[in-house]
Amino acid sequence: MAQKTFITRLKLTDFRNYAQASLSLDGRHVVLTGNNGSGKTNLMEAVSFLSPGRGLRRATLPEVARVGSFGSFSIFASLEGMAGDVDVGTGTEVQDETTVRRLRLNGAPSRSVDELTDHVRMLWLTPAMDGLFTGSSSERRRFLDRLVLSIDPAHGRRASDFERAMRSRNRLLGEGRFDPSWLSGLEQQMAALGIAMALARHEMMRLLSSLIDQRRDDVPFPVADLALSGFLDDVGMETPAIDLEDLYRERLAMQRGRDASAGRTLEGPHRSDLLVRHRDKDMEAARCSTGEQKALLVGLILAHAELVATMTGFAPILLLDEIAAHLDEGRRAALFDRIDALGGQAFMTGTDVQMFSSLGQRAQYIGVDDGKLLP
């Protein structure tokens, strides 16, 4: 069984509508209730900053600082993490009119926020994600890459390095500088990184699909069939990686003129799309009802949380915003049982505490009122 990771203390300073806030937690799930606009999602966003990236809203750092503050914020948390007890401090400071994020682990400066994945893995589901299946492919890629990152922390670095190399190539082509040695070097780098990204995505999809098949009779949510398209569809990822790299590098070289005219690179892992189908209905998720899409998404997140626990040996922390709002009482009870069975700590929000009655004593209940936390 996966070991539990959980937050025991959380302190915020100048974060969104919180001038100061402090929580002591005992490892149970955390239910945050209050009126809309009171700060429930803001607190969960703060927790999401205990992982790499820009948090569950993908906000810029200046946007997160409390209005009326000096433009910076800080978050402190004590964790029972994957490497034992750890104190995490993260926040921002303004240097030469630029806002930068800092991280400290047990009081010592960290070289990169990517080190957070050594201590905790985190997944979230928010109302803003309800349009995932009908939205842009870039949103689905971002969702997919967060799933990959949870089991392969190096994926984020590969993706950012690929984007950097691709921007350099685009700039050279846009300026008409067809220097063969320079472009070949960039294309070699793009091929190695791009194929590694694609293989990591396909492997995660294979593992997740296998787990979904194993659990399909035990989960009170529709089964999703998953696929990827948009990059090397004519070849297949079963081809040896070195051959895939050679093929992609050759295509980049041949497509320089086309990419220069388009002003961007037209083939690569940055063009991939996540395809989801409702298995029992044999229907694309985008054509399903709003309720069915939500149920598919919840099922995917829960399945992935189990995959993370299986792959790492530690259950992830879940952030589930307004998770119970559109579920009947029976479906809510089944959902809470499933969350509890994963073995981790979950943060959940809602406007009515009665929606969480079936959780009973498995959770701590905290009221939120205009940036104030009430037991």
Q: Are 11 and 76 within 8 A, CB to CB?
A: yes
35 is known to lie in a ligand binding site: yes
Residue 349 annotated as binding site:
no
**Residue 344 labeled ligand binder:** no
229 labelled ligand-binding: no
Q: Is 17 annotated as ligand-binding?
A: no
- Was 11 annotated as part of a binding site? no
Q: Is 40 annotated as a binding residue?
A: yes
Q: Which residues are annotated as a binding site?
A: 34-41
Q: Which residues are annotated as a binding site for ATP?
A: 34-41
